Amino acid sequence: MKITNIKIEYDVSYHNLGGYDPENEWSCDSYENINTINGFSISDKPGDLKEKLDPYMQPLYDALRDMIPAEKLAMYIENGTIQIAPLAFMRGRTLDNAFVILDEGQNTTHNQMKMFLTRMGKNAKFLLTGDPGQIDLPRRTISGLKEALLILKNVEGVGMIFLDDKDVIRHKLVKKVIEAYRSIENRE
């Protein structure tokens, strides 16, 4: 599903990044769950950190480019209003006055999800996205997103929105592909 546009549109409209107001300064931090890529540690990849991560952050950049003019987006990234980083880079941070998005949350572990959720500072809002049907974790590793859905469902202040194939905004064939896969997955 094309969740990236939904969450970025919410973020852009929520903070009105088209009209940045330094008096009401918020930052938008987006964290992707990237610790290893195709079985290799990030440190095993050639290049500086930006060169290593940019290909995997592309869906976030694409969604932002759809809604924010290129020069404004570049300015927001350069001045830190928008930060895009791997999940591991949150450790030890407290994010005050921030709107933080965790993308691909289905691929977090218990420890990663707990670390993410406990970074929330004053006046912060956290948004998790993920598809429990597309988990890429090793077998017998519990998804941090699936676990959070269970343990946080009755916590006051936590809201959950579930999307289904009616929410797909990609090519019309994508709905048919999802249905075809669902039919064989339901047989297993």
How many structural domains compose the chain?
1
Residue 22's pLDDT is 41
Task: Pick the closest to residue 130 from 119, 145, 109 (CA basis).
Answer: 145
- For the chain, list residues with pLDDT below 70: 1-45, 188
Q: What is the pTM of this model?
A: 0.70
Instruction: For residue range 108-154, list pLDDT tens digits in order.
Output: 999 999 999 999 999 999 999 898 888 989 989 999 999 999 999 99
pLDDT at 30: 53
What is the rounded CA–CA span in Å between residue 144 and residue 110?
4
CATH number of the domain where residue 86 is located: 3.40.50.300
Per the structure block, which two tokens stand in for 124?
A: 């912060």
CA-CA-CA-CA torsion sign (22, 89, 108, 183): positive
Distance CA 56, CA 36 (A): 11
Q: Which residue has 């019309």 as its token pair?
A: 172
Q: Cβ neighbours of residue 29 under 8 Å, at least 6 residues apart? A: 82, 83, 84, 85, 95, 98, 99, 100, 101
pLDDT of 172 reads: 86
Res 124: pLDDT = 92
**Boundaries of domain holding 39:** 3-187
